[in-house]
Amino acid sequence: MQAITNTALVVGANGVIGTNLIEHLLSLGNWKVIGLSRKGGADGYSLRHIAVDLLDATGSREQLSSLTDVTHIFYSAYQDRPGWAELVAPNLAMLINVVEAVEPVARGLQHVSLMQGYKVYGAHLGPFKTPAKENETDHMPPEFNMDQQQYLERQQLGKSWSWSAIRPSVVGGLALGNPMNLALNIAVYASISKELRLPLRFPGKPGAYDKLMEMTDASLLAEATVWAATTPAAANQAFNITNGDLFRWNDLWPKIAAYFDLRVAHQLPMQLDTIMADKGEVWTNMQEKYGLTQQGYGPLSHWRFADFVFSWDYDFFSDSSKARRMGFHTYVDTEQMFYRLFDEWRAGKIIP
């Protein structure tokens, strides 16, 4: 058994990113992990959870004041809001409240890792330059990811700790109850389509079906995040982190349909947030029929995010060669990632 040499504070511990990051850190054997989230979680060997409202600055300072042994902060928390401008205040405030509560007491703090995304490239606004490179972030604000990074850059000046900004594409992982788990949305959509004896129709914009896409496996992302946080040469830099391959929905969609024993019909633009809203009763009946776990339909499926991804009628990918040039070489086949996730959800009786 390895000696514990690092203490990680994982902020956003119950999300698809945080869950996999905690699992990876514990597997390394030399990390103690503290998970922060609004709901908390079950403690385990070398793992404890703290339930905290990070929008409450005073409460955060009080609850985090005892975390004197933290060596690494891994920040992946996120507060959703209806508009891009509205995202800035809460998401910047949460990061500030964590750093300014922990930094003064954690004298051995070595690194702060910030989870970002392609919003830094303006990908949420429309067609952006691809492949996007880490130095191409000069689009018009508001954009909370860059506000967070700029805060860390200012806060780090003259300090002994360093920071990194990790930029995954759409993340695929096993965690449930996360609003940005595209693979799970697809699995639920396909399962309901099969139950209703319907073909699997691509519901996105017509132009999205043949554009280049990429994804990031949550386990690969966890490995890359820890690599960047513990590699001296990677200090104070941003990194695009992806599986390493590209795909088009018009190639992958029929393969996903085949996995679920479904035929593919012509694509039909649909707002899943609207058209799937009344399918809760169907899902409840499926849970009883197939002996599925009693996961609530609402928390299990977040259609608004799927609609957002399927609306990208432009290429959506970055240049991830920087991390690879610096020594991070893990690769995941995206098609196989989908099958692996589907297999595990089937084995766990999440989907039939």
pLDDT at 28 over 90: yes
Q: Is residue 335 within 8 Å of 247, Cβ to Cβ?
A: yes
pLDDT at 175: 81
What's the mean pLDDT in 280-303? 94
What's the mean pLDDT in 40-57? 96
Pair of tokens at residue 221: 């992302």
Q: Is residue 168 within 8 Å of 123, Cβ to Cβ?
A: no
Check: pTM over 0.85? Answer yes or no.
yes
- The answer to whether the peptide bond before residue 352 is cis (omega within 30 degrees of 0) is no
Amino acid at position 101, single letter: A
Using the 8-state DSSP alphabet, how is residue 51 labeled? Answer: E
What's the mean pLDDT in 31-44? 96
Backbone angles phi, psi at 114, to 5 degrees: -110, 125
> 44 pairs with which residues across the strands?
47
Its sign, for the CA torsion 46, 69, 29, 73, is positive
Helix, strand, or coil here: 274? helix
Helix, strand, or coil here: 347? helix
Q: For the segment 197-228, what is each residue's pLDDT rounded down to a tens digit?
A: 999 999 999 999 999 999 999 999 999 999 99
pLDDT at 167: 98
CA dist., res. 241 & res. 318, Å (int):
9
pLDDT at 27: 97
What's the mean pLDDT in 26-39? 97
- Is residue 268 very low, low, confident or very high in pLDDT (cuts 50, 70, 90)? very high
Q: Residue 160 — left, alpha, or beta (φ > 0 → left; ψ -120 to 50 → alpha)?
A: alpha
Using the 8-state DSSP alphabet, how is residue 316 labeled? Answer: -
Its sign, for the CA torsion 259, 262, 267, 271, is negative
Q: For the segment 56-71, what is each residue's pLDDT rounded down to a tens digit?
A: 999 999 999 999 999 9
Helices and strands (DSSP H and E) totals, the chain = 13, 11
Helix, strand, or coil here: 164? strand
pLDDT at 120 over 80: yes
Q: Is residue 190 within 8 Å of 272, Cβ to Cβ?
A: no
The domains of the chain, with CATH numbers, are: 6-170+215-241 (3.40.50.720), 178-214+246-316+334-347 (no CATH)
pLDDT at 1: 60
Please give the angle made by the CA atoms of 12, 24 and 256, to the nearest 5 degrees: 85
pLDDT at 176: 80
Pair of tokens at residue 255: 């393969």
Share of the chain above pLDDT 70, in %: 99
Amino acid at position 146, single letter: M
User: Regarding predicted confidence, which is higher, 332 or 175?
Assistant: 332
What's the mean pLDDT in 1-12? 90
pLDDT at 255: 98
Selection from 220, 182, 191 nearest residue 346 by Cα: 191
- Is residue 55 very low, low, confident or very high in pLDDT (cuts 50, 70, 90)? very high
Burial 253-277 (b: 16+ CB within 10 A, else e): beebbebbebebeebeebebeeebe
Query: Strand 212-213 vs strand 247-248: parallel, antiparallel, or unpaired?
Result: antiparallel
What mean pLDDT value characterizes the chain?
Answer: 96
pLDDT at 177 over 80: no
Query: Strand 72-75 vs strand 6-11: parallel, antiparallel, or unpaired?
Result: parallel
**Terminal CA-to-CA distance of the chain, rounded, Å?**
39
Q: For residue 154, what are the contacts with CB-CB under 8 A and spacing of at least 6?
A: none
What's the mean pLDDT in 29-51? 96
CA dist., res. 57 & res. 89, Å (int):
13
pLDDT at 178: 74
Tokens 């788990």 found at: 181
Q: For the segment 294-342, what is each residue's pLDDT rounded down to a tens digit?
A: 999 998 889 999 999 999 999 999 999 999 999 999 999 999 999 999 9
